[in-house]
């Protein structure tokens, strides 16, 4: 048997898959094409190119200046030698079928285009050529992945431009090519082929080595190192100047500065003293600047570097780049020397495991792809050192310089280049940042570097930050002086308005109205009733009443009696209500006849909603009302508390009167205005609605609870009552059509971020105000009139009259300049007295204002904000674990405390997730005490009995255990993602449904969720919110004529569960109708006198 037959016999014995693979390779060899494996980075770049084939981010360019009389033919031949020597330069990356390999093509016939360029324009033209070619795109599937152009200024001055894709080229490779080009050119000028002293390193061999290394124990150890080092990491980024695009665009520009010689010397000296390198000092300064701009101390940045493995880097062309994440924690109390040491330690520790490809680090951490940002690291640091010098090649000298390709590898990157006289450049993605922002950031880097190199032991927070002009802008131009408070208390101002036009309508509601005279008289009689019951100056009077005119009259009456009212939402659970009542230690609690049973005697005082009720007719009314000073408490409103216990904010008369005076001027409030009272009395926006209206002589339309729950009812009120001013949550405004309200001239919104689209729609034809203000600063203290078109959420604006706003550092005292994120602090006449019975918490959050007049205070809000260049404040988020959902302030700690109190719950973690349809949603993860014994619906029902509806998690996720970081903290990144997938209606659901379930799906659930779900799908897991649950209750009432309680719905929030409640309610309704019919039959035939006597007896029994 001959050799050929033996080969065929062995081929036939191979498994089919292996035989096909070998035949494919033989076919490649016969055609001059061969395959090579991809490195991990090449594989990533290949995928990125498929996702965004026209992106500039993966291209780069180099210029090789050639000085001297150039032999163009010798240059072409030398470049062909380079293509022959380095196979990766002629590789292609065809398509998905060959994923994991690159195809190496035969050496092509090289055509070198020569372009004449005007004198002095070589470098500028090189930039244009690179960017033009990259915009055309480099075709990886067919090749070539590089392009060459020769620019000529004159016969002895040329510029060879190399354009390439990162998949075959990197900056290190360019220097290798510079040396090889000079060597080959010398040979070609002499008429010879180059005789290379050593064979090149084939990039395919490098890629194969890398993949083998990643299968070894060393790679597994590196993986574990990075898992530990980056456990619980959070992305480090500077907020963009505008809206972050859905698809990240890394088109870039750069601002550049030279390091002054004295600063270079200071850096060199400090590096020597600290036992570090220039690299460490500059990187440490960058981290300090990032920390002071982001209000964060746990930072992760990316350090690009080369990994060439066991190969000679001088003979290897191809992208051997890797990215090392560097994570450092720093504090404003740290010294710069300590930060340098931390940076160096983290860098050297990471370098021991830096061979692991970045892609595998991402895989180990479970980093999900995000089309809007880079994975893991958004900010980079690059120190390229001394640039390569020119190389002699016969009679010419060949240099090598990087050309700006118009794209960067990061969203922001500090690039340092040069040896003894370095320059620093800040490269920025132009889709995210402007040149002014980048220039300011770079100037602060130099300022910080200079200050800390001079005083390396100075605490970071004490280093100068920003310019004197920036500080003057904040303190003098963007904030106005604070005036004097009004001396007149709230109720006296109301009395003056009532006396001026007593017959003008004050309150209007669905089936009635009340003039200023009548409301004034009613509130006086309530004040007398309170005084007779022993209430007086300094007392707190909780008010547990339904929404309506009576509640407003009671609030005025409490103020007239010299006391402070404490509005309590009657929809909140009994447990929370009892907790607040106990905290107030009140001796008198006002209730209505229908809420009396929720407050135990002896402290309750029943006020009937009838203004003329006999209980207000006192035989011996008390004397003159007490004098009330402006510093007296006006009301106490309770907000969520981190310990699980709500905290009461004490607001004074002078706080309220200043606020009303300000908004009256802002909105030009007049008696002709009609204002909507929509918000809960326990939410401080109601203070604006009630007192902003009544102290301006305007009309207040009071919605009842049923109207508030229905968008249709709200729409009808806005139209029918010709409302002119509203303050509504963004979630509600998004459900309304603003063009349908021609009388509405002012829309005031706040409490949470909202879209630019909503702003644009509502700003047309009216004043649209974005407002901000915690309860602790009296309703609203920062506002902006939004006009024109908006593409993103607008700023919250500037401090309102008689207030000052600051963005401060972690000490609460240092004022930060524009562009730096910090805690928002508020000073001025709206700052409340403090927290009821909590001097410790009051002292912590209400502090002396070092930038205001002596004796003034500032409130630290816990919110993060940043000044923009126009002098407007932009809301960033919370500094602590407090969140806002649908405008309601929620302490996640209070939610967790309520969950922990449920029997069977061992651990609980509350969090906020973004659901695509509805935005922010409250989610809770719970660990049972015993596996498999916890019913989530029971947990939700129990929590709904302790917390207001807005604080009940929309989704409960069971866990076996809570993931922790090595330091024992909750690792929120490892909490499982919440799936909002919806099990849509099945045939089985349709066939087995009751008539009520069919109607419930079609007319109640589907309009709210936008999809017809199965009978047993959890409403909240399908994306429903607490707000929508309230709307759902209203819709059920409209469709079925019965209204099951929200608490009952929370116990089984499904179509079938709610249908069962409706059927039970209708059955009970029918039972009552039958009983009534039976009773009427018993009455038939009786005389009028007998019927009257029976009615009197029944009425007396009801009263008893």
CB 336 within 8 A of CB 287: no
Poorest-pLDDT segment among 70-84, 372-386, 1019-1033: 1019-1033
State the pLDDT confidence band at 22, using cuts at 50, 70 and 90. very low
The mean of the pLDDT values for the chain is: 87
Kindly tell me if the per-residue pLDDT of 791 is higher than 60. yes
Taking the C-alpha atoms of residue 379 and residue 235, their distance in angstroms, rounded to an integer, is 9
pLDDT score for 1089: 65
pLDDT in tens, 40-93: 999 888 877 776 665 677 899 999 999 999 999 999 999 999 999 999 999 998
pLDDT score for 964: 66
pLDDT score for 23: 42
Tokens of 249: 């665009």
Tokens 């915690």: give the residue. 774
Of the candidates 468, 473, 445, 638, the one whose C-alpha atom is nearest the C-alpha of residue 540 is 638
Taking the C-alpha atoms of residue 796 and residue 763, their distance in angstroms, rounded to an integer, is 15
Which one-letter DSSP state was computed for residue 538?
T
State the pLDDT confidence band at 1104, using cuts at 50, 70 and 90. very low
What is the helix (H) or strand (E) element at residue 847, kind and residue range?
Answer: strand 846-848
Half-sphere exposure of 1020 (CA within 13 A, CB side): 28
Kindly tell me if the per-residue pLDDT of 949 is higher than 50. yes
Tokens of 41: 């980075």
- Residue 1067 burial (CB < 10 Å; 0-12/13-18/19+)? exposed
**To the nearest whole percent, how much of the chain has pLDDT over 70?**
88
Sequence-ordered alpha helix ranges (H) in 31-150: 40-51, 72-85, 122-136
* Cis amide prior to 263 (ω within 30 degrees): no
| Helices 516-532, 549-560: crossing angle, 10 deg rounding | 60
Mean pLDDT of 737-752: 92
pLDDT score for 641: 73
State the pLDDT confidence band at 28, using cuts at 50, 70 and 90. very low
Kindly tell me if the per-residue pLDDT of 1100 is higher than 50. no
Classify 739 as helix, strand or coil: helix
CB 277 within 8 A of CB 422: no
pLDDT in tens, 514-524: 999 999 999 99
Poorest-pLDDT segment among 434-438, 471-475, 673-677, 979-983: 979-983
Poorest-pLDDT segment among 63-67, 93-97, 183-187, 470-474: 93-97
Query: Is the model more confident about 1018 or about 209?
Result: 209
Mean pLDDT of 790-813: 93
State the pLDDT confidence band at 934, using cuts at 50, 70 and 90. confident
State the pLDDT confidence band at 982, using cuts at 50, 70 and 90. low
* Phi, psi for 605 (deg, rounded to 5): -125, 115
* Cis amide prior to 602 (ω within 30 degrees): yes
pLDDT score for 883: 65
Beta strands at 746-750 and 725-728: parallel, antiparallel or unpaired:
parallel
State the pLDDT confidence band at 1103, using cuts at 50, 70 and 90. very low
* Bridge partner list, 822: 865
Mean pLDDT of 879-893: 64
pLDDT score for 752: 74
pLDDT score for 25: 43
CB 209 within 8 A of CB 36: no
Beta strands at 505-509 and 512-515: parallel, antiparallel or unpaired:
antiparallel
Strand ranges for 751-842 from DSSP E:
767-772, 782-786, 798-799, 803-808, 822-828, 834-835
Kindly tell me if the per-residue pLDDT of 878 is higher than 60. yes
* Phi, psi for 843 (deg, rounded to 5): -65, -30
Tokens of 340: 């340098």
| C-alpha angle 308-312-314 in degrees, rounded to nearest 5 | 100
Taking the C-alpha atoms of residue 766 and residue 743, their distance in angstroms, rounded to an integer, is 9
Computed on alpha carbons and rounded to an integer, the radius of gyration of the chain in Å comes to: 37
Kindly tell me if the per-residue pLDDT of 1021 is higher than 90. no
pLDDT in tens, 476-492: 999 988 888 889 999 99
Of the candidates 598, 566, 571, 543, the one whose C-alpha atom is nearest the C-alpha of residue 949 is 571
Poorest-pLDDT segment among 634-648, 671-685, 911-925, 976-990: 976-990
pLDDT score for 1019: 79
Kindly tell me if the per-residue pLDDT of 375 is higher than 60. yes
pLDDT in tens, 706-728: 888 888 899 999 999 999 999 99
Query: Is the model more confident about 558 or about 974?
Result: 558
Mean pLDDT of 721-741: 91
Mean pLDDT of 793-799: 94
Taking the C-alpha atoms of residue 240 and residue 429, their distance in angstroms, rounded to an integer, is 10
Of the candidates 630, 680, 686, 690, the one whose C-alpha atom is nearest the C-alpha of residue 658 is 630
Taking the C-alpha atoms of residue 744 and residue 759, their distance in angstroms, rounded to an integer, is 15
Kindly tell me if the per-residue pLDDT of 886 is higher than 90. no
Kindly tell me if the per-residue pLDDT of 1101 is higher than 60. no
Of the candidates 381, 449, 385, the one whose C-alpha atom is nearest the C-alpha of residue 419 is 385
């Amino acid at each position: 048997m001959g050799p050929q037959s033996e080969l065929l016999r062995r081929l036939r014995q191979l498994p089919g898959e292996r035989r096909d693979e070998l035949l494919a390779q033989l076919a490649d060899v016969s055609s001059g094409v061969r395959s090579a494996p991809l490195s991990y980075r090449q594989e990533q770049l290949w995928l990125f190119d498929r996702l965004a084939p026209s992106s500039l981010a993966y291209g780069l360019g180099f210029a090789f200046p050639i000085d001297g009389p150039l032999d163009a033919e010798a240059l072409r031949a030398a470049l062909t030698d380079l293509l022959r020597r380095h196979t990766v330069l002629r590789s292609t990356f065809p398509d998905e079928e060959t994923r994991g390999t690159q195809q190496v093509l035969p050496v092509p016939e090289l055509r070198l285009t020569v372009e004449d360029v005007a004198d002095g324009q070589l470098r500028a033209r090189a930039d244009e050529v690179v960017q033009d070619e990259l915009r055309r795109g480099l075709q990886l599937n067919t090749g070539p992945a590089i392009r060459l152009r020769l620019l000529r200024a004159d016969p002895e001055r040329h510029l060879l431009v190399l354009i390439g894709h990162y998949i075959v080229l990197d900056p290190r490779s360019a220097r290798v090519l510079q040396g090889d080009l000079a060597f080959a050119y010398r040979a070609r000028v002499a008429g010879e082929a180059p005789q290379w002293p050593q064979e090149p390193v084939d990039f395919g061999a490098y890629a194969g080595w890398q993949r083998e290394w990643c299968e070894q124990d060393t790679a597994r150890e590196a993986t574990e190192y990075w898992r530990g080092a980056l456990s619980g990491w959070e992305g480090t980024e500077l907020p963009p100047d505008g809206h972050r695009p859905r698809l990240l665009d890394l088109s870039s520009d750069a601002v550049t500065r030279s390091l002054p010689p004295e600063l270079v010397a200071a850096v060199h000296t400090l590096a020597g003293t600290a036992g570090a390198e220039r690299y460490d000092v500059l990187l440490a300064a960058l981290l300090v600047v990032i920390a002071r701009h982001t209000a964060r101390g746990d930072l992760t940045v990316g350090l690009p570097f080369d990994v060439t493995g066991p190969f000679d880097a001088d003979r290897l062309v191809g992208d051997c780049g890797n990215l090392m994440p560097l994570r450092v924690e720093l504090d404003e109390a740290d010294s710069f020397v300590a930060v340098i040491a931390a940076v160096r330690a983290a860098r050297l520790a990471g370098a021991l495991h830096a061979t692991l490809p970045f892609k595998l680090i991402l895989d180990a951490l479970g980093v999900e792809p995000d089309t809007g940002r880079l994975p893991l690291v958004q900010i980079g640091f690059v120190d390229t050192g001394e640039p390569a010098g020119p190389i002699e090649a016969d009679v010419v000298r060949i240099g090598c310089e990087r050309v700006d390709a118009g794209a960067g590898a990061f969203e922001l990157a500090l690039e340092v280049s040069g040896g003894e006289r370095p320059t620093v450049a800040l490269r920025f993605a132009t889709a995210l940042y402007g040149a002014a922002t980048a220039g300011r950031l770079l100037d602060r880097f130099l300022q910080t570097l200079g200050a800390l190199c001079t005083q390396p032991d100075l605490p970071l927070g004490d280093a100068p930050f920003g310019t004197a002009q920036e500080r003057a802008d904040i303190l003098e131009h963007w904030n106005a002086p604070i005036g004097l408070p009004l001396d007149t208390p709230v109720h006296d101002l109301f009395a003056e308005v009532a006396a001026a036009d007593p017959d003008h309508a004050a309150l209007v509601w669905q089936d009635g109205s009340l003039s200023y005279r009548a409301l004034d008289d009613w509130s006086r009689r309530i004040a007398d009733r309170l005084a007779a019951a022993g209430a007086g100056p300094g007392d707190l009077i909780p008010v547990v009443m339904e929404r309506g005119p009576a509640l407003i009259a009671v609030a005025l009456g409490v103020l007239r009696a010299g006391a402070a009212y404490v509005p309590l939402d009657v929809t909140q659970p009994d447990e929370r209500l009892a907790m607040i009542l106990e905290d107030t230690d009140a001796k008198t609690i006002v209730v209505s006849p229908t809420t009396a049973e929720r407050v135990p005697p002896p402290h309750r005082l029943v006020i009937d909603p009838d203004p003329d009720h006999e209980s207000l007719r006192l035989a011996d009314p008390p004397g003159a009302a007490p004098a009330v000073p402006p510093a007296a408490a006006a009301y106490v409103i309770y907000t969520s508390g981190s310990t699980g216990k709500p905290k009461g904010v004490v607001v004074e008369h002078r706080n309220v009167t200043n606020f009303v005076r300000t908004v009256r001027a802002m909105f030009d409030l007049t008696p002709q205005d009609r204002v909507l009272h929509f918000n809960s009395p326990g939410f401080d926006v109601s203070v604006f609605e009630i007192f902003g209206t009544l102290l301006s002589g305007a009309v207040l339309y009071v919605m009842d609870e049923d109207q508030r729950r229905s968008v249709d009812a709200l729409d009808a009120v806005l139209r029918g009552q010709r409302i002119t001013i509203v303050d509504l949550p963004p979630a509600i405004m998004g459900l309304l059509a603003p063009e349908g309200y021609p009388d509405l001239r002012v829309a005031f919104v706040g409490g949470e971020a909202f879209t630019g689209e909503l702003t644009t729609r509502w700003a047309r034809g009216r004043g649209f105000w974005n407002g901000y203000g915690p309860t602790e600063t009296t309703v609203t203290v920062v506002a902006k009139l939004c006009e024109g078109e908006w593409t993103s959420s607008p700023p919250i604006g500037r401090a309102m009259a008689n207030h000052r706003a600051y963005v401060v550092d972690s000490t609460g005292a240092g004022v930060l300049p524009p562009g730096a994120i910090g805690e928002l602090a508020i000073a001025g006449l709206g700052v409340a007295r403090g927290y009821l019975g909590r001097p410790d918490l009051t002292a912590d959050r209400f502090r002396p204002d070092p930038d205001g007049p002596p004796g003034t205070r500032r409130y630290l809000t816990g919110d993060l904000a940043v000044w923009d260049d126009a002098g407007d404040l932009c809301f960033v988020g919370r500094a602590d674990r407090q969140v806002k959902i649908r405008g309601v302030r929620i302490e996640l700690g209070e939610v967790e405390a309520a969950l922990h109190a449920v029997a069977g719950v061992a651990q609980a973690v509350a969090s906020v997730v973004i659901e695509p349809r509805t935005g922010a949603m409250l989610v809770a993860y719970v660990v049972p005490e015993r596996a498999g014994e916890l019913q989530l619906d029971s947990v939700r029902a129990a929590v709904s009995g302790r917390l207001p509806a807005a604080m009940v998690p929309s989704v409960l996720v069971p866990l076996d255990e809570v993931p922790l970081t090595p330091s024992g903290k909750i690792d929120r990144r490892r909490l499982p993602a919440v799936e909002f997938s919806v099990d849509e209606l099945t045939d089985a659901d349709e066939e087995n449904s009751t008539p009520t379930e069919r109607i419930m799906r079609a007319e109640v659930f589907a309009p709210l969720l936008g999809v017809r779900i199965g009978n047993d799908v959890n409403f909240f897991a399908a994306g429903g919110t607490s707000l929508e649950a309230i709307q759902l209750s209203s819709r059920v009432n409209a469709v079925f004529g019965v209204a099951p309680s929200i608490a009952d719905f929370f116990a089984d929030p499904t179509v079938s569960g709610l249908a069962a409640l409706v059927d039970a309610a209708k059955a009970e309704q029918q039972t009552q109708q039958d009983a009534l019919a039976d009773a009427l039959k018993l009455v038939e035939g009786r005389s009028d006198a007998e019927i009257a006597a029976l009615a009197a007896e029944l009425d007396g029994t009801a009263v008893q």
